[in-house]
C-alpha cells in the first residue's frame, strides 16, 4: 500500500505519491486564480506533465500556455511558476530528480502570499 501525504497551499494543494532517495513524485492541483511562487531550486530539476486544465507556465521570464498531455522540463536553477487563469483547476504530475527534495530548496523570487 502506498502512503500519500498531502499539504494545503494558498494556491491549491499537493500530494506526495512517492518519496524515494533518487526522486520524488507529486500530484499538484492549482485552483482557479492561483499561482505558485516564481522560484527556482538549487538541488533538483523538475518535469511537469499536465493532466487536467490549461496553465500559463513562466520559465526564466518567458510565458507559455500548456495544456493536458504536455510536459515542461525545468532544469536545476531555472526560474519557474505555473498560473491558473482559467475556471477549472489545473492538475499536473511533478517528477523531481537531483540530490535533495525538501521544501526548503525553494528559493522564492516573487510570491503572492508573502512567503519567504
Name 18's bridge partners.
25
Query: Which structural domain, as residue segments, surrounds residue 88?
Result: 5-110
Alpha carbons 85 and 34: distance in angstroms, whole number: 8
**Rounded Cα gap, residues 39 and 108, in angstroms:** 4
- Residue 54: inside a domain, yes or no? yes
CATH no. for residue 101?
2.60.120.10
Answer positive or negative: Cα dihedral of 107, 77, 74, 23: negative
Residue 115 belongs to a domain: no
Residue 68 inside a domain? The answer is yes
What stretches in the chain show pLDDT beneath 50? 1
pLDDT at 1: 41
Triad 36, 75, 63: Cα angle to 5°: 50
Count of domains observed in the chain = 1
Give the integer Cα–Cα distance in Å for 63 and 28.
20
Which residue, chain included where needed, has cell 500559463?
56
| CA atoms within 13 Å, Cβ hemisphere of 40 | 10
Res 115: pLDDT: 85
116 assigned to some structural domain? no
pTM of the model: 0.93
11 belongs to a structural domain: yes
Amino acid at each position: 500500500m502506498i502512503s500519500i501525504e498531502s499539504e494545503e497551499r494558498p494556491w491549491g494543494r499537493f500530494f506526495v505519491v512517492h518519496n524515494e532517495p533518487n526522486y520524488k513524485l507529486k500530484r499538484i492541483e492549482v485552483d482557479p486564480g492561483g499561482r505558485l511562487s516564481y522560484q527556482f531550486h538549487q538541488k533538483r530539476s523538475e518535469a511537469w506533465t499536465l493532466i487536467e486544465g490549461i496553465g500559463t507556465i513562466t520559465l526564466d521570464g518567458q510565458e507559455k500556455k500548456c495544456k493536458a498531455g504536455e510536459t515542461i522540463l525545468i532544469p536545476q536553477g531555472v526560474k519557474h511558476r505555473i498560473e491558473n487563469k482559467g475556471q477549472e483547476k489545473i492538475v499536473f504530475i511533478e517528477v523531481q530528480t537531483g540530490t535533495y527534495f525538501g521544501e526548503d530548496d525553494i528559493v522564492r523570487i516573487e510570491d503572492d502570499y508573502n512567503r519567504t
